[in-house]
């Protein structure tokens, strides 16, 4: 399957999206995580697992709000500063 930056994986009303995120370890501990294609969506956690769960929750809520308001989801590249120790992951979001 050829996957784009944000892919709609089903036609179900609760659509499944594969979402790229940037994980940034913080000097003081914990992780910050940023949505790479939906500007303004970010979160954090004490561990990678917690940070990914938190960004998944934030993405789900944002997508549901756009859909409930009848608005298109404003997919676009987010301006996120990358550091030498940051790395990308893809997460699955049902919204």
Are 49 and 41 spatial neighbours (Cβ–Cβ below 8 Å)?
Answer: no
**pLDDT band with cut points at 50, 70 and 90 for residue 15:** confident
Neighbours of 11 (CB within 10 A): 7
Q: Token pair for residue 88?
A: 């990308």
Q: Which of 35-44, 70-79, 84-93 has the lowest mean pLDDT?
A: 70-79
**pLDDT band with cut points at 50, 70 and 90 for residue 5:** very low
Query: What is the chain's mean pLDDT, rounded?
Result: 87
**pLDDT band with cut points at 50, 70 and 90 for residue 12:** low
CA angle, residues 49, 52, 55, in degrees to nearest 5: 150
- Is the model's pLDDT at 4 over the cut of 60? no
pLDDT at position 2: 38
**pLDDT band with cut points at 50, 70 and 90 for residue 70:** confident
Q: Tell if the pTM clears 0.85, that is, is over it.
A: no
3-state SS class at 49? helix
């Amino acid at each position: 399957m050829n996957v784009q930056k944000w892919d709609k994986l089903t036609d179900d009303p609760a659509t499944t999206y594969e979402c790229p995120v940037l994980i940034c370890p913080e000097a003081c501990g914990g992780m910050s995580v940023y949505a790479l294609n939906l500007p303004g969506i970010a979160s954090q956690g004490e561990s990678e697992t917690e940070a990914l769960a938190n960004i998944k929750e934030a993405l789900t809520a944002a997508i549901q709000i756009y859909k409930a308001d009848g608005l298109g989801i404003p997919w676009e590249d987010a301006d996120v500063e990358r550091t030498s120790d940051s790395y990308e992951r893809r997460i699955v979001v049902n919204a």
